[in-house]
Amino acid sequence: MNKLTRIGFAALALVLALSLFGCAAAPAEPSATAAPTAAPTPTPAPEVNVPVQDIADALLGMEEMFPPSMGFMGEEMLTEMCGLDFSMLSEYSLNDPMMNVHAHMLYLAKVNDEGDVPAVEEAFTKRLELMQENFSMYLPDQYELTLAGQVVSNGKYVMMVVCNDPQAAVDEFNNLLAAE
């Protein structure tokens, strides 16, 4: 019986060995050309859609930065002074001081096409330079405000700000757009 057990174990070992080799994966043959893997398509960031007037109201509400008497500047005047093409804008808010003894300004615009941002920045910069020129010989403290003025953009939004703390206004502008 001992001999029979040995033959049984040998047969069993042979069957197990054959089953292991039979189940192994066949070696992969190298292909002539590897199929290119497609790069993952980036997911576009959702478009920010904060109403321009909401941004203007929030910034103008920072009483320590802007005088209470701010008025809306008309399209025609800004087009003549700076060459701004309003057809590029989907929304805007143009706020100037009501009296010429203040240099405070807050211009906000949302362009239809992000490619138009540089043109709006250029027009706003031209307006800022005109204000700097106007105040250079008149009211030195207001002239200093214009020199600190900033023109910035964030996505489709462009802002020109002249106020007591333009960096705080820029930070709030960016925060309002990031909160969307």
Please give the full DSSP string across 108-120, using - where no structure is assigned. EEEESSGGGHHHH
CA-derived radius of gyration, the chain: 35
* Residue 88: per-residue pLDDT: 94
Kindly give the interhelix angle for 166-178 and 52-60, rounded to the nearest 10 degrees.
140
Choose the weakest-confidence range: 8-17, 57-66, 157-166. 8-17
Count the neighbouring beta carbons within 10 Å of the beta carbon of residue 117.
Answer: 19
Task: Indicate if the pLDDT at residue 169 is higher than 90.
Answer: yes
Count the neighbouring beta carbons within 10 Å of the beta carbon of residue 145.
Answer: 21
Count the neighbouring beta carbons within 10 Å of the beta carbon of residue 96.
Answer: 22
Banded pLDDT at 91 (limits 50, 70, 90) = very high
C-alpha–C-alpha distance, residues 138 and 132, integer Å? 10
Banded pLDDT at 43 (limits 50, 70, 90) = low
- Per-domain residue ranges of the chain: 52-178
Please indicate, yes or no, whether the overall pTM of this predicted structure exceeds 0.85. Answer: no
DSSP 36: P
Task: Indicate if the pLDDT at residue 17 is higher than 50.
Answer: no
* Residue 133: per-residue pLDDT: 92
Q: What is the pLDDT of residues 44-82, one digit of tens each?
A: 556 788 999 999 999 999 878 887 777 777 778 778 878
